[in-house]
Amino acid sequence: MAIGDGVLTPAISVLSAVSGIKLKLTGLHDNYVVMISCVILVALFSLQHHGTHRVAFIFAPIVTAWLLCISGIGIYNIVHWNPHIFRALSPLYMLKFLRTTGVEGWVSLGGVALSMTGVEAMFANLGHFSSLSIKIAFTFLVYPSLILAYMGEAAFLSKHHDDIQRSFYKAIPEAVFWPVFIVATFAAVVGSQAAISATFSIINQCSALNCFPRVKVIHTSSKIYGQIYIPEVNWMLMCLCLAVTIGLRDTNMIGHAYGLAVTTVMFVTTCLMALIMIMVWKKSMINSIAFLLFFGSIELLYVSASFHKVPEGGWIPIVLSFIFMAVMYIWNYGTMKKHQFDVENKVSMNRLVSMGPGLGMVRVPGIGLVYTNLTSGVPAVFGHFVTNLPAFHQVLVFICVKCVQVPYVCEDERLLISRMGPKEYGMFRCIVRYGYKDLQQENYDFENKLVSGIVQFVEIEEEGSFNMSDSEAFYAPEQTFMISNQEENRVQPLSDSQETKPVDGRLENSLCKHESIQILKAKESGVTYILGHSYAKSKKSSSIFKKIAIDLVYTFLSKNSRGPDVALNVPPTSLLEVGMVYYV
């Protein structure tokens, strides 16, 4: 439903704003209104790659001008048409309305919900503004302006019952119509931007939780984590918005779909908040249930009223929700099954060593970097590799990449290195930590820093001067050492065309050690990136539903998602992919 909200918000906002032209240009055909709306939508989505922070400086003036316009027009209509409309603030009139109209009043709540649907978009901006600023702005500016605008529109309708379809624009005084129309169009674009940004955030979080295929995430700001841009999702949203705008053409039908999407999101959010109160905040069960019953009953009333409009456009968010839910569930199910296969079939060091004589395993010059998601043990794909090709590099490093929610990770905190097995194996594990703004493995800088870090690790291990922190033990259970800033000048990164020169006496002594020399010689022989290219297939005994989910849907999503070599920026000339079938 949240994705449906991101699709419907730009469509209804822009189409509603542009439809005001028909009041002044009576001969204007609906096709031209739709065409203008589509042009604005295409321009809006085309500007997303610049980032919200680059255009955010115009958001506040536009929204402020819009709120001042509607509040001023509301005051004018209240004074001019019906000064007694302030009595409508009493909740008694709502009860009288529902008691008098009965079922018709209940059905009308679906339309009433549209008056508050923009409120939840404010909280989507938490990635751009602080919670305190949103509370202050809503309390002292947004809420009073909305109340005055709605009361002014109600005052106008109390004297003009026939203008209910275009009451907003008809309530605007003739002298200020075009300035207000321009501000309304810009405000619709700003409101659409909030929904689009929220959709990017939702997809990014789902991808981080392995609930959505890997997509390209571009962080447009180095200061605020929430400002991101996802090209694939952006163009997909644009196509869906254009399809809804061209297909429905009617703001009432889009409004029915929009109201159902927003009210359902509110109700689901309330249910999840009740769970958070119990499981995360450790609140009492009574308080959580009281919260759910009070707010949930009100929202459920609006949801039930909106479901009455399912045949008139409300089916759109339902269909979109089922499609995205199916994609998310199947991707999460397939990913978890593959990870479970990796954990259950990982190779122990003793087994790997015992296979060596039987397979005639040999060590070839160079450094092999094996990428894996496991933080302990040898991945099954590497066992598959050495079984079919019993040879691997003289120095072997198992790389596990971890992304953290900070813009940048300092170079002295980037690598967490540990040894796997005895020294004669020449096998290491390295946890590489990247921030969301860090460029991963640009050129060959990563290779040089990794080799320098391993040499430093060997020095520290030989001297016995190491300390292990709790966080390091979590990432690598087998004696982990973090390369600290104190050892920064002991080994400098090596380039392919640069000979190794001692930086000081301590480094000269370390180069005399056999293992350090072997590592540096292996670097000169070349570095190879070994990535597993796994294919998930269902077992023969699986049900027909599992076969469809894994063999068709999950396979299709895997082929069309970003590959790990692209996500990790692995040099294509140094890449070695190992294919393996996972029967899940």
Mean pLDDT score, 67-72: 92
Q: Which of 55-64, 155-164, 480-489, 549-558 has the lowest mean pLDDT?
A: 480-489
Mean pLDDT score, 479-490: 39
- Owner of token pair 């259950």: 344
Residue 292's pLDDT is what? 93
Residue 1's pLDDT is what? 63
pLDDT over 60 (residue 16):
yes
Quote the Cα angle for 49-50-52, to 5°. Answer: 100
- Kindly list the distances between the CA atom of residue 537 and the CA atoms of 322, 556, 563, in Å, as whole numbers in the listed order: 24, 12, 18
Residue 259's pLDDT is what? 80
CA distance linking residue 578 with residue 533, whole number of Å: 6
pLDDT band with cut points at 50, 70 and 90 for residue 331: very high
pLDDT over 70 (residue 15):
yes
Q: Beta strands of 385-493 (E only): which ranges?
A: 391-404, 415-419, 427-435, 480-482
Residue 492's pLDDT is what? 38
- Asked whether 385 and 396 are in contact (CB, 8 A), the reply is no
- CA 422 from chain centre, in angstroms, equals 42
Residue 87's pLDDT is what? 85
pLDDT band with cut points at 50, 70 and 90 for residue 71: very high
pLDDT over 70 (residue 191):
yes
- Model confidence over 374-412: pLDDT tens digits? 777 788 888 888 877 777 888 889 888 877 767 778 877
Burial (Cβ within 10 Å: 0-12, 13-18, ≥19) of residue 538: buried
Q: What are the structural domain ranges in the chain?
A: 1-82+118-249, 344-464+509-583
Q: What is the pTM of this model?
A: 0.75
User: Could you please report the per-residue DSSP string of 49-92?
Assistant: GG-HHHHGGGHHHHHHHHHHHHHHHHHHHHHHH-GGGGGGGSTH
Residue 8 in tokens: 């419907």
